Structure 1
Amino acid sequence: MHREAFRWPVCRMLGILSLLFWTGCIAGNHDGRTEVRGSVVMDDLPLATGKITLIPVGEGVAAGGDIVNGTYHIPPDIGPTPGDYLVEIYSFAAIGKKRKDTLGNAMVDIPENIIPECYNSKTKLRVTIADQSNKHDFALASDAS
């Protein structure tokens, strides 16, 4: 009898702790941060590689991620909080310029940003991040100013 009286409170407590643990993991308790994903094309072609950064316009948390084969995904654990954001997109490639390596022996490519500055250092791109998953696609033009 004594054993059974002890078993129910312990089982109930383990059940509650288990529920709290799984609720936190499944619901994605990430301090108000949210997931963002989408595509990035330039001149109608997927951007092979790059970086995307979301910079808050007021309150918010900056976030960013990699662009691979024209898509990006910023998971909720490092994602932005809801609000308005400026978007910066960069992609670096060797475009024929070279310099000597740090030892001064060999010539190496100098990577340059191939994305017009109106999409990064002087960005005109803006998005509003909601409190749920967000999908934002970007179509860039290499001749934009």
Structure 2
Amino acid sequence: MNQTSIAVRALLMVLITSLSGCGSQKEYTGEKRFPITGTVSFKGEPVSSGMISLIPEDGNSNPAGGPIENGTFSIPEEKGPNKATYRVAVYWRKPTGKKVKDADTGEEIDQVKQVIPAKYNDATELSVVVAGNPEEDVLKLDLTE
């Protein structure tokens, strides 16, 4: 399985986890989840609008993730990770200045490019241990080239 398909599967798991409960009032009965917050910058610039994903290394814990806005993210307890070790993936797509045709609508849209290197997303080298303590579960990700 290649790194891109792993990243796609991880994002799908985050989306499914985020959407589970929509339309259903079923109470979560799994292991305790914890909130996690943090900041993300790339080459000194705050990630203005991106996505962060926490992918469990043990394969049993819940994935977590959410949007990055103005260099910060906050994943609430109800959507947060369990106590476990996670791989961290950061995505940030920026417009290239070019226009392309949308495959579905044929409309001209801004072409975007992933600006964060693969070592921080599809082939992530980032890892975090979620301790279940709000003071410890604050990430500061200063990503470089």
Structure 1 portions without partners, runs of 5+: 1-28
* Residue pair 1:94, 1:111 contacting (<8 A) in 2 also: yes
- Larger CA Rg, structure 1 vs 2: 1
- Amino acid in the other structure paired with 1:93: K
Structure 2 portions without partners, runs of 5+: 1-28
3-state SS in 1 of match to 2:33: coil
Correspondence for 1:49: 49
Equivalent-residue separation in structure 2 for 1:36 and 1:63 (angstroms): 9
| TM, length-normalised to structure 1 | 0.72
Deviation at 1:96, TM superposition (A): 2.6
Correspondence for 2:122: 121
Q: How does 1:72-91 map to 2 (within 5 A)?
A: 72-91=73-92
Correspondence for 1:138: 141
Paired-residue identity, %: 35
Equivalent-residue separation in structure 2 for 1:96 and 1:48 (angstroms): 17
- Amino acid in the other structure paired with 2:126: L
Deviation string 1:10-36 (CA, Å, 9 cap, x unpaired) is: xxxxxxxxxxxxxxxxxxx98400010
- Amino acid in the other structure paired with 1:67: I
3-state SS in 2 of match to 1:112: strand
- Amino acid in the other structure paired with 1:71: T
Equivalent-residue separation in structure 2 for 1:97 and 1:121 (angstroms): 24
Root-mean-square deviation (CA), in Å?
A: 1.8
- Amino acid in the other structure paired with 1:70: G
Equivalent-residue separation in structure 1 for 2:105 and 2:36 (angstroms): 42
- Amino acid in the other structure paired with 1:129: V
Correspondence for 2:14: none
Structure richer in helix, relative to its length:
1
Equivalent-residue separation in structure 2 for 1:86 and 1:31 (angstroms): 19
Equivalent-residue separation in structure 2 for 1:115 and 1:38 (angstroms): 17
Q: How does 1:1-145 map to 2 (within 5 A)?
A: 31-58=31-58, 59-101=60-102, 102-104=104-106, 106-133=107-134, 134-141=137-144, 144=145
